[in-house]
Structure 1
């Protein structure tokens, strides 16, 4: 693993992956054979993800510890990171939420009334922030129900000029503006079963292009 990927993080920062980070060759890791030609590089190995997630959990507990924590997950791609994080954080998983990307509105999955968040200590868990708009909408919705505390943990934050400037409370990795898949992050519902965070190849994009994209 290259030195830039190993950059140490202190309590106030995340692990920053530089724009020049080349990633690592696929043959250095266990990658499903059916994806062998669909990936360029392994960007963040699974073991490093887990180690960083454990550290995030310790940071969360250091900041929110001593309180009962209610965890909220945004978007289904965050389920793997959320599950791994909560394995390290002793907490109760409350309910999943997702963003309706066709309207930009928040759609609640499940029957619980959000008023049950009142007075609770809330940890919002998300896989990746591209621009930050979805998270700001979700935070606004949660805050309307008067929780005691709200903090956000993200595995990945993209470094992009399209960002609105939002920064979560806990971040695993700050990454370049690349399209990454794996660790439940998908491309048209493929690659969710890939353990590592990888960069998709042009072959992979063409192979798994959706019908709508093909017609367009």
Structure 2
């Protein structure tokens, strides 16, 4: 079972005034729930775990855009540092896929995958994947006969809507709230926010499509 850092349902979070928040978002957020520094420290540990488990394999790191790009880049930076400074290193190549499943704050029942025409190149490879809408993507990947697939997700949400799927590597288990920041968006806003924050109800209306 994957280990993770749990953010409890009654977590009070942190006052926005304690952090550097872009002025254009100050009125849109309830609180900071995971500060950027904590995200980075946890990501560094995930990188170490991946190197420990998969050292010696050639890994194709597949990023799920757009929400996964910051986590993906930071995770790969930590893996690169470990490759440079460790006896066990991982040959690494990267690829990208885009998946879209949200409209406003509601998850749709369909996942739109963009960029899957190159997945045939993954046959026989070890794949580490980052992102959210995993089951559709895992089904697509299985058709390409990869040697092994491991999923890394920064966040797993506790929600009654969950299918029960759990990634192989988890950063944080979080409450069932709509989270933005660190490349997670609400209708394309808030990707430029460094911390992971809870979006308030007024902002959901303000940025509604």
Higher relative contact order (CA 8 A, sep 6+): 2
Partner of 2:199: 200
1:34 aligns with 2:33: no
TM-score, scaled to structure 1 = 0.83
- SS of equivalent to 1:104: strand
Structure-2 separation of matches of 1:115 and 1:139:
13
SS in 1 for 2:8: coil
Following superposition, the deviation at residue 37 of structure 1 comes to 1.0
Query: For the structure 1 residues 189 and 70, does the alpha-carbon distance in structure 2 shift closer, same or farther, using more than 3 Å as the test?
Result: same
Contact 2:97 2:113 in 1 (8 A): no
Runs (5+) with no aligned partner, structure 2: 81-91, 103-107
> Number of residue pairs matched?
193
Instruction: Provide the residue aligned with 2:171 in structure 1.
Output: 172
Give secondary structure in 2 for the equivalent of 1:41. strand
Q: 1:23 is paired with a residue of what secondary structure? A: coil
Cα RMSD for the two superposed structures: 1.9
Q: Which segment is superposed worse, 140-149 or 44-53? A: 140-149
Deviates more, 1:95-104 or 1:23-32: 95-104
Note if 1:92 corresponds to 2:93.
yes
TM-score of the pair, normalised by structure 2: 0.85
The alignment partner of 1:34 has SS state of: helix
CA distance in 2, matches of 1:85, 1:46: 14
The answer to whether the Cα contact below 8 Å between 2:48 and 2:79 also exists between their aligned partners in 1 is yes
| Separation of aligned partners in 2, 1:43 and 1:124 | 24
For 1:91-139, what per-residue CA distance to the aligned partner results, in whole angstroms no more than 9, with x for missing partners? 3212323246677255341752x2211111100111xx4xxxx311211
Long gaps (5+) in structure 1: 1-10, 211-216
User: Which stretch of the first structure deviates more once superposed, 95-104 or 162-171?
Assistant: 95-104
Match of 1:89, SS state, is helix
Identify the range of structure 1 (80-89 vs 93-102) with the bigger mean alpha-carbon deviation.
93-102
Matched, 1:25 2:7: no
> What's the CA shift string for 1:21-55, capped at 9, x where partnerless?
01000011111111111111001000100110111
Distance, in Å, in 2 between the alignment partners of 1:63 and 1:81 is 19
Mean CA deviation greater in 96-105 or 148-157: 96-105
Structure 1 residue ranges (4+ consecutive) displaced by more than 4 angstroms after TM superposition: 99-103
| Residues 14 and 174 in structure 1, CA contact (< 8 A), matched pair in contact too | yes
